Structure formats: structure tokens, C-alpha cells
A and B are shown apart, each in its own frame.
Chain A
């Protein structure tokens, strides 16, 4: 069965990461990254490292690069705020750092608690000196991951790709809900 663009990008991105020699995959899960995480977990050439908070991933991947390995940090936009001070490490030491961030608080958000961090994600990254790129449709994600990855590893700096909520679709809370018992 031919995959639609919506569902094909995680497979393409996994293949891209693999061919670039990415070995350490640091994750705080997000629905938008679910398929990519599964593919990385199945891949014996990759080590998936479950984090308790996103800033652990910034430090982990600095260590990976010291040891000669490339990595990627997968997270949701809510986690970007957790990384702020740790990004000092990437910036002060010029560590390459590839971050793929699925957006919440973006296109069609339902949950008010997602809005403040989602709305601030790009500004927070940029305030710390991180280069930020965006992909807002499924058919551009792979190409943007490729160029973002090259920026990070070729120019030794933290770079983030924000994958818009339009790509994975906003979570439909109403479908998952039953009414509050009276």
C-alpha cells in the first residue's frame, strides 16, 4: 500500500537519520513522534534513550559528540522551556545538536495549557541562539530534517526544526472524552 505524505515522513526521516550515522536517539515522547520513535527502537544501529526531562537530552548528546557519536533529540514544544539553561552547553562549546520538535499550542490547539509554551517556543530558542527552521506540511518535513541536520553537524551548533501541528493534526479531545458524571 502506498503511504500518503502524512504517514511517510517518519519512515523517511528514520532512513535519513540512519544514513547520516545518528546513533543516540534521545526522547521525551510525543504523539507526533510516535512512529519515528518506534522505528528507531526497532533499529539495532540506534540507541533510544528515554529521558525524564528534555534538558537531559541536551547534555546526553553533548557527551555523545565528545565520544564521536551523532544523536538527535525528539521532543514536543512544551519541553523546549525545560532545555533553556542546558542549551548553554551546546552554545558555549559549539556542540552540534539536532532537535526535532513537534508543535503543540499551534494549529487548532484545544488545550489552553499548551498555548503559552507553544507560542513562545521559537522565541525562546532564538533568545538562546538556537537556529530555528519550520515545517508546516507533511511533504516538506523530510527535506527540512535533512537541511536542519546538515546545519547542526556541519556548522557545530544547536539547530531545531519545529514540525507544525498542521502536520500531525491537533489532538481531538472531544473524540476521547465522555461527559462529566453529574
Chain B
């Protein structure tokens, strides 16, 4: 169970908790800290950590969820990254994939570039926007009990799920996955699709 600093959940504990017993879930992480948090929970061949493509994490998750409807697909990204691709909320709501969850780790900061404030620190409610777009299950998560509810919801296969998790804006040491995009892609496909993936 995640501890809180003051009132805020801690990002590394949140991600560890959500990915514990992930089974054969497929994970896409947004660039910057969410990729470090996801790798901190364990480098995994069924992770596709993004190093760039800001604003694209949720859409990578959608393409994957549509291609693999029997697998749980989990996108872990940040508030700045999600803000750059808000249209994806509308696109995902229309497709309504039951196996896709998007978790936004919201520290209200652009942490990689000097902790500048994002819109979410000024009242922009991403979960509210996702709900208004029509995403089936939307949650605002601030406490360990709410985090447990999110975890149950994420693995229930009754999505789509969108969660905005308010976290502390602590700066932490980076935990880096491999950087070679081709390697990340190929190891993911081999683990998911088997050796024939290299001959598609």
C-alpha cells in the first residue's frame, strides 16, 4: 500500500503498486518521469517506454488495445504529456476499448524541464475532461484507498479507464530503460507475438 507525503501519493510507489501482479498486461509509458517510474518497477519486455513522441502515449495504447483486445493495456503517463494530446481522449472515447486504462501521474509540473507549472495546478481537471469526452470510467485518485479502487478497475477489463493520480512533485534519480527504439519494439513484439513476429 502506497504511503503519502503530507497529502500526496508518491509516484514510484503508485506505479509499483499498480504494476504488481500485472500478469501479461501490456504497458506503454509516456516520456520522462513516467518512463523512469515504470522502469523502476522492473524493466519488462512487455513494456514499451517512450523516450519522445510527447502527446502520443495514450494513442499508442489505443492502437495496441485494438490490436490485442484480450490483453490488458495500461498507459502510464504524465500531466504535461497528456495535456499535449487531449484530442486523444475524444478519439479513445469513441473507440471505447474495454481493455485500455490510462493513468496520468499528475505532479502539476513539467518535471524534466525545471518544474514549471502545468495547467492541472491551475484547476484543469483531466479526469473531468475524460468523463466529458465519454470515457467509461474516470477517477481522480488522491489517497491509498482510491489507488486500490483504481487498481481493481484497471484489471477488470470493463474500460476504458482514465485516472488522474495526484502525486508529489519530488525529483527522483532517473531509472532508464534501454534507449534503442528498435530494440524496445522488437523485444516487445517477440514477447507478445512469438518468434514469428520478426517475419510479419
Bound-state CA distance A52–B87 (Å) is 6
Cβ contact within 8 Å between B64 and A56:
no
Q: How far is the CB of A150 from chain B (nearest CB, A)?
A: 13
A61, A63, A71, A92: the one within 8 Å of B28 (CB): A63
Is A68 an interface position by the 8 A CB rule? Answer: yes
Cβ contact within 8 Å between A94 and B182:
yes
Cβ contact within 8 Å between B63 and A62:
yes
How many B residues are at the interface, by size bracket?
Answer: 35 or more
Of chain B, the residue at the smallest CB distance from A58 is B56
Query: Beta-carbon contacts of A39-56 to B below 8 Å, as 1s and 0s?
Result: 000000001011111011
Residues on the B chain within 8 Å of A55, using CB: 55-56, 85
A58, A60, A68, A95: the one within 8 Å of B193 (CB): A68
Of chain A, the residue at the smallest CB distance from B48 is A66
How many A residues are at the interface, by size bracket?
Answer: 20 to 34
Of chain A, the residue at the smallest CB distance from B56 is A59
Is A6 an interface position by the 8 A CB rule? Answer: no
Q: Which of the 9-residue segments A11-19, A81-89, A126-134, A158-166 touches chain B?
A: A81-89
Cβ contact within 8 Å between B60 and A60:
yes
Q: Which of the 9-residue segments B17-25, B116-124, B135-143, B183-191 touches chain A?
A: B183-191
Is B88 an interface position by the 8 A CB rule? Answer: yes
Cβ contact within 8 Å between B59 and A56:
yes
Residues on the B chain within 8 Å of A64, using CB: 63-64, 66-67
Is B52 an interface position by the 8 A CB rule? Answer: yes
Q: How far is the CB of B32 from chain A (nearest CB, A)?
A: 15
A53, A67, A85: the one within 8 Å of B63 (CB): A67
Q: Known interface pairs A62-B60, A66-B48. Does A85 touch B67 (Cβ–Cβ under 8 Å)?
A: no
Q: How far is the CB of A29 from chain B (nearest CB, A)?
A: 14
Contacts A67-B65, A68-B68, A94-B185 supplied; 14 other A-B pairs, CB < 8 Å: A49-B95, A52-B91, A57-B59, A63-B28, A63-B65, A64-B64, A65-B189, A66-B48, A68-B189, A68-B192, A69-B63, A69-B66, A89-B181, A95-B185
Interface residues of A (CB under 8 A from B): 23-24, 47, 49-53, 55-69, 71, 85-86, 88-89, 92-95, 153
